[in-house]
Amino acid sequence: MDRHPPESLRGQRQRRRDRAPRQRRPGQRPPEPGTSVIARKHILWAAGAVFLLTLIANIPAALLYAAFKPQASPVQVYGLQGPWAAGQLSGITVNNRLVAQDLRWHFQPWWLLLGRASVWVEGGGGLATLQGRASASPLALRLSDFRIAGEVKRLAALANFSYLPVSGQAGAQIDSLIVKKTGIDTVTGRIELRGLAWTLAREPLALGDFQIELLTTPEALIAKVSSPSGPLEADGEARLFPDQRYETDIRVRPKPGASEMLKNYLRSLGPADPEGYQHLRQKGQLK
């Protein structure tokens, strides 16, 4: 006698087992009706949101610039490539004056949680090298962790000082810069000037290295000047007040071993005080 029942009987037993309710372990909650449908909807919404954000992030930067640039703006952007969220450009001009070139940027969306649109910028080309974070909100423009380096004359030209009779290298570390509608609100950082030389003399007149500390107080923005090395000793500070008034009081004198050319130049600035310092004082109002 065959020990195995016919195939039809085995199928009936299997169907009965399938129809029998499954035993739940102690403490296990029964499945809620519609749970799988809700989960599917969440997955579809999430997938749709990711697709939409990806589509928006990949809109070409050149297309957006062409659509939204002001007609009579003095600022012009050239050579835009890539999506707006991570692209590059070949140059920026202000009133037909080149102020930046060969820049790359990356949009940082998590800063939107703080109400700011933020990008990480780097590049600069032959004008200057720069790297750091730039952000904007309805109330202010900000730079943070920002580094700039380049030749003094080129950096001065970017700031619209077309002719500066000084050569050398400059580097700036801007820890924080906040600019509001009324002007600069806060600044902290450091500027280093290396190998400065005065170029109006018959031969370049070496001045040395200088350091400028930038800080903010309730009364004014302050730039403190010092001279760590070189033939010229300098110290003092410049102040910018909230009403855009400025004052500078910097004293200079030759260090031991300085050239006669430097000593003669300093004498031409006026009489020295009892300690041998010439004082460079100036007051004015920014426009």
Is the pLDDT reported for residue 123 higher than 80?
Answer: yes
Tokens of 270: 């006026």
Nearest Cα residue to 280 out of 244, 233, 230, 243 = 233
C-alpha–C-alpha distance, residues 210 and 166, integer Å:
13
Report the percentage of the chain scoring pLDDT > 90: 46
Cα separation, 196 vs 261, in Å, equals 15
- Of the candidates 64, 109, 102, 67, the one whose C-alpha atom is nearest the C-alpha of residue 84 is 64
| 3-class SS of residue 276 | coil
Identify which has the larger pLDDT, 219 or 45.
219
Summarised one tens digit per residue, pLDDT across range 52-74 is 777 777 888 888 888 888 777 78
pLDDT of residue 26: 59
The DSSP letter of residue 38 is H
- What beta strand segments (E) does the chain contain? 75-78, 88-94, 97-107, 117-123, 129-136, 141-151, 166-180, 183-198, 205-216, 221-229, 232-240, 245-254, 278-285
Looking at every residue in the chain, the average pLDDT score rounds to 84
pLDDT in tens, 218-246: 999 999 999 999 999 999 999 999 888 99
Whole-number Cα distances in Å, 73 to 36, 189, 248:
55, 31, 34
Which of 200, 211, 204, 260 has its CA nearest to residue 233? 211
Structure tokens at 137: 């909100």
Distance from C-alpha of 208 to C-alpha of 213, rounded to nearest angstrom: 17
Band (pLDDT 50/70/90 cuts) for residue 79 is very high
Q: What is the reported pLDDT for 188?
A: 96
